[in-house]
Amino acid sequence: MNYQKKTVKDIDVTGKKVLLRCDFNVPMAKDGSGVITDDKRIRAALPTIQYLLDQGAAVIACSHMGKPKGAVVPELSLKPVAERLSQLLGKPVIMADDVVGPDAQSKAAALKSGEIMLLENTRFEAGETKNDPELAKKLASMADLYVSDAFGAVHRAHASTAGVAAYLPAVSGFLIQKELEVIGGALSDPKRPLVAILGGSKVSSKIGVINNLLEIADTIIIGGGMAYTFSAAQGGKVGDSLLEADWEDYANDMVKKAAEKGVKLLLPVDTVCADAFAPDAKSQVVKAGEIPDGWQGLDIGPETVKLYCDAVKDAGTVIWNGPMGVFEFPAFAKGTEAVAKALSETDAITIIGGGDSAAAVQQLGYADKMTHISTGGGASLEFMEGKELPGVACLLDK
């Protein structure tokens, strides 16, 4: 995929109506009060929005929230987002009552330079997730240009993420530009050695990533629940640990492939295991492959922590996707925390691939020490797999 895409700075936006796809899929309070519990995604969109407004564009922002499946679900309305965005910008945000209906159309037609409006949840339209050309055409008809800044949604070919680009000149905002530069740069021309740390629960969800990274990484580190499938594949005892028995042959193939390619593949040498999946479970440290029956591995052990932290010390670039253990339980967060601390102390370019790893780094207080924390979990994963991202492929090349 070509990572060299035109940005808002490569086109003249003055006096133009700009359809801006944001990722305002923010977490809301469970009590239906309409309170946003974390406005990080709204704040992330501000540089692009402010730039467009300062340049005299009229901004028609849009986003999805949750999975209303084409129905109007009042608790998934973007009205609270409009209010919060208005507070952050210090100016009114006009809220449309629909996505491409009469209210959205009339408000968009009346929108002046330097003003911003927000369309209702794009997934209130059944055609959004089907990338319906009619919906894409209606969205596009309101604007002169399309700017994509929702990296968390670019791996989906939806009407508002990819379809509209068939009808409007399409460029990236600053958020997507940074993702393409940092992650794209690490994949196409990394500062070496390139160390990839992969964790999380399942080998099956990381297959594509491991395969792609075996072609470009110098060292691959495996942690989290997926490590037990590798351990079992090599004849180890994993007790009641997470195990994908169907993927054991695959795990062995990866070990073999790494050896053939001269890629260092590091697996845990010891494990913190527990007698139950609980924050206060009884725990012990055992050698990898020696987990007793009835016990389950919930974190990497101290020897493994040392091995992994040493491996990133002299790295040029580190990509990290997936925690080392059940970091939500403080007793089993030590591995994840140690890796985060090691990354915060290295001189390497450090890239955190969204999702749980981003949550862990933020929760543990190391976020400001990382070069880049991706704003898209699924998108950054598919990016690292080398897959084409529909919401990026549709943008104009430089």
HEC profile of 216-233? HCCEEEECCCCHHHHHHH
E-strand ranges in 7-126 read 17-21, 58-62, 93-95, 116-118
Query: Is 0.85 topped by the overall pTM?
Result: yes
pLDDT at residue 78 in the model = 98
- Size of the chain, expressed as the number of residues it contains: 398
| pLDDT higher than threshold 90 for residue 32 | no
Who contacts 189 (Cβ-Cβ below 8 Å, separation ≥6)? none
Residue 269 DSSP class = S
Average pLDDT of the chain? 95
pLDDT tens-place string over residues 162-218: 999 999 999 999 999 999 999 998 988 999 999 999 998 888 988 889 999 999 999
Among the options 17, 41, 138, 156, which is catalytic?
41
Among the options 127, 173, 325, 355, which is catalytic?
355
Which one is the CATH code of 182-384: 3.40.50.300, 1.10.3720.10, 3.40.50.1260, 1.10.150.670?
Answer: 3.40.50.1260
In the predicted model, what is the mean pLDDT of residues 365-381?
90
pLDDT at residue 239 in the model = 97
Distances (CA, A) of 184 to 176, 212, 351, 398: 11, 13, 11, 15
pLDDT at residue 2 in the model = 82
Who contacts 367 (Cβ-Cβ below 8 Å, separation ≥6)? 361, 373
The share of the chain scoring above pLDDT 90, in percent, equals: 87
**Which two three-digit tokens encode residue 359?**
């949550």
pLDDT at residue 376 in the model = 82
Cα(first)–Cα(last) distance of the chain, in Å? Answer: 13
Distance (Å, whole) CA 207 – CA 222? 12
Instruction: Give the position of tokens 């490569």.
Output: 10
* DSSP3 helix / strand / coil % (the chain, rounded to 5): 40, 20, 40
Which of 346, 220, 331, 345 lies closest to 276 in space, CA to CA?
331
Is there a contact between 354 and 379 (Cβ–Cβ < 8 Å)?
yes
Cis peptide upstream of residue 193 (ω within 30 degrees of 0) = yes
Catalytic residue flag (residue 202): yes
Catalytic residue flag (residue 236): no
Report which secondary-structure segment, H or E, holds 272: strand 270-274
Question: Which of 30-34, 246-250, 326-330 shows the lowest per-residue confidence on average (mean pLDDT)?
Answer: 30-34
The share of the chain scoring above pLDDT 70, in percent, equals: 100
Distance (Å, whole) CA 13 – CA 301? 54
pLDDT at residue 73 in the model = 95
Q: Strand 296-300 and strand 270-274: pairing?
A: antiparallel
Among the options 6, 79, 137, 202, which is catalytic?
202
CA angle 225/228/234 to nearest 5° reads: 160
pLDDT at residue 3 in the model = 82
Catalytic residue flag (residue 41): yes
| Domain boundaries of the chain, sorted by first residue | 8-175, 182-384
Distance (Å, whole) CA 94 – CA 83? 9
- CATH architecture of the domain covering 8-175: 3-Layer(aba) Sandwich (3.40)
| pLDDT higher than threshold 80 for residue 110 | yes
Identical fold at 8-175 and 182-384? Answer: yes
Residue type, 3: Y
| pLDDT higher than threshold 80 for residue 1 | no
pLDDT at residue 353 in the model = 87
Among the options 34, 66, 114, 378, which is catalytic?
378
Is there a contact between 358 and 334 (Cβ–Cβ < 8 Å)?
no
Name the region of 242 (left: φ>0; alpha: ψ -120 to 50; beta: rest): beta
| pLDDT higher than threshold 90 for residue 255 | yes
Distance (Å, whole) CA 332 – CA 325? 6
Distance (Å, whole) CA 343 – CA 305? 12
Catalytic residue flag (residue 386): no
